[in-house]
Amino acid sequence: MKKLGLSTLTLGALSLGVLALGSANAATVIKIASMSPLTGSSSDLGLQIRNATELAIRDNKSAFTALGFDLQFVAYDDQADPTTGTANARRIAADNSILAMVGTLNSGVVIPSSEVLAPSHVAIVSPANTNPKVTDRGLANMNRICARDDSQGPAGADYLVSTLKAKRVYVLNDKTPYGQGLADAAEAFMKTKSATIVASEGTEEKSDFSSIIGKIKASKADAIYFGGLYGQVGPFSKQLREAGVSIPVMGGDGYDSPDLLSLAGAGAKDIYFTTVAPPLTAVPAARVLSSRYNAAYKKPLAGFGIMGYDSAKVVISGVLSAIKANGNKLPTRTQVETAIRGTKLSAGLLTGAIDFNSVGDRTSAKMYIIQVKNSAAGKLDFSTAGTVTVKSSKQ
């Protein structure tokens, strides 16, 4: 048998030592997930959430490195589909390095997904889910920084009847928990203001709205409230205007995408919507982020990007708080869940102070009334018509 030289033995020992040292010093991985539609008709909004979450994680990675952790980001595409969302939730629950999640866009996705994640104590901070059921179920892992439909619906309805003086309103919804919840809340409020609801129906139609438009014309409605998303409302409004119907169309934050303008074309004029996500012009603190976002993703930052960034900041703050409370050691998911629910942040956020009530609703949130009208350049664009501050009804 060949004898090994001293130098060979020494090098071997050194190599083993380096490997052992590297293993001992390897940073513990902590992952934060996002879940939103990255493909399909709602992807413009979903990508805003995903991309802004990624930027927030990049901005705060060094704070984790200093504590011996490697902060990583993982994005899941829920395709705005509850079945896909719950499948993603099971994958997230199975990955023990994921301590919390930002998302989703659609209430119909987050409701079942949060129930899947609740037994594993994976905390969720939502930038966009507005259906009351999201938090009214009392799940310890579910939080949101946006206003609720039972505030958003009435805000839009009040603007219709008080400012636009609508008296006969045709109510539509897209048959999703989001759209129907929004339309139901708006309809209930308008009835208290003595507005006549000439019809109220749900539709899943995406392309040919001639039948509905015919009924709207026959009803002599002077306004429409449509609870839905821009991918459906854009083509509807285009066909509505082409049929000679110029009455205002009001909806919720599901309209809040530049794609609404391209889908509706000239028919976008006098579309109004409430949004829980602020226009960039209303958030001066977001200007620097806007430049960075545009440079990174070659698209402008929009409202749900702003809300996604702040949601991620809440998650990051909660994880850091849980680490410090655990003696700078890796916290459990339950510790992170508790820390996030106990959030009390007054600085470093784009949309103002954030704290949660007992069910995970933000105690004070803002909504914005947006109108599509001609800009100074003569092009149809979003313009802020008003702002409403909403206080949580529960503590």
Q: Which of 214, 161, 156 is nearest to 182 (CA)?
A: 156
Residue 283 has pLDDT above 50, yes or no: yes
Q: What is the spatial distance between Cα 311 and Cα 317, in angstroms, rounded to a whole number?
A: 10
Q: What is the spatial distance between Cα 174 and Cα 180, in angstroms, rounded to a whole number?
A: 7
Question: Pick the residue with more confidence: 377 or 27?
Answer: 27
* Amino acid in position 96: N
Calculate mean pLDDT across residues 155-179.
95
Q: How confident is the model at residue 19 (pLDDT cuts 50, 70, 90)?
A: very low
Q: What is the spatial distance between Cα 249 and Cα 231, in angstroms, rounded to a whole number?
A: 15
Q: Do the first three CATH levels of 29-147+282-362 and 150-275+368-391 match, i.e. the same topology?
A: yes
Domain boundaries, the chain: 29-147+282-362, 150-275+368-391
| CATH number for region 150-275+368-391 | 3.40.50.2300
SS3 284: helix
Query: Residue 16's pLDDT is what?
Result: 45
Query: Residue 395's pLDDT is what?
Result: 57
Query: Residue 363's pLDDT is what?
Result: 95
Calculate mean pLDDT across residues 375-393.
86
Query: Residue 389's pLDDT is what?
Result: 86
Calculate mean pLDDT across residues 143-159.
92
- Strands (E) across the chain are located at 28-36, 69-77, 98-103, 123-126, 142-144, 168-173, 196-202, 223-227, 249-251, 271-275, 344-345, 354-355, 364-374, 380-391
Q: How confident is the model at residue 8 (pLDDT cuts 50, 70, 90)?
A: very low
Q: What is the spatial distance between Cα 104 and Cα 230, in angstroms, rounded to a whole number?
A: 17
Question: Exposure string (b/e) for 278-294, b if CB count within 10 Å is 16 or more?
Answer: bbbebbeebeebbeebe
Calculate mean pLDDT across residues 344-352.
93
Report the Cα 101 to chain-centroid distance in Å.
Answer: 12
Calculate mean pLDDT across residues 379-392.
88
Q: How confident is the model at residue 257 (pLDDT cuts 50, 70, 90)?
A: confident
Q: What is the spatial distance between Cα 76 and Cα 122, in angstroms, rounded to a whole number?
A: 15
Query: Residue 375's pLDDT is what?
Result: 85
Residue 5 has pLDDT above 80, yes or no: no
* Strand partners of residue 271: 249
Q: Which of 372, 363, 382 is nearest to 151 (CA)?
A: 363
39, 341 contact by CB (below 8 A): no
Long-range own/partner contacts, residues 184-188 (CB < 8 A, 24 or more apart): 184/153, 184/227, 185/149, 185/150, 185/152, 185/153, 185/154, 185/157, 186/153, 186/154, 186/156, 186/157, 186/160, 186/225, 186/227, 186/250, 187/153, 187/157, 187/225, 188/153, 188/154
CA atoms within a 13 Å half-sphere pointing along the CA-CB vector of 278: 22
The residue assigned the tokens 């499948």 is: 87
35, 46 contact by CB (below 8 A): no
- CATH architecture for the domain at 29-147+282-362: 3-Layer(aba) Sandwich (3.40)
Residue 24 has pLDDT above 80, yes or no: no
Q: What is the spatial distance between Cα 28 and Cα 331, in angstroms, rounded to a whole number?
A: 11
Task: Please report, for residues 261, 342, 388, the alpha-carbon distance to residue 173 in angstroms, rounded to integers and kept in the order given.
Answer: 20, 35, 23
Question: Pick the residue with more confidence: 135 or 393?
Answer: 135
Q: Which helix (H) or strand (E) holds 307?
A: helix 303-325
The residue assigned the tokens 């802020």 is: 384
Task: Please report, for residues 113, 146, 254, 337, the alpha-carbon distance to residue 141 in angstroms, rounded to integers and kept in the order given.
Answer: 11, 16, 24, 6
- The 10s digit of each residue's pLDDT in 93-102 is 999 999 999 9
Quote the pTM value.
Answer: 0.79
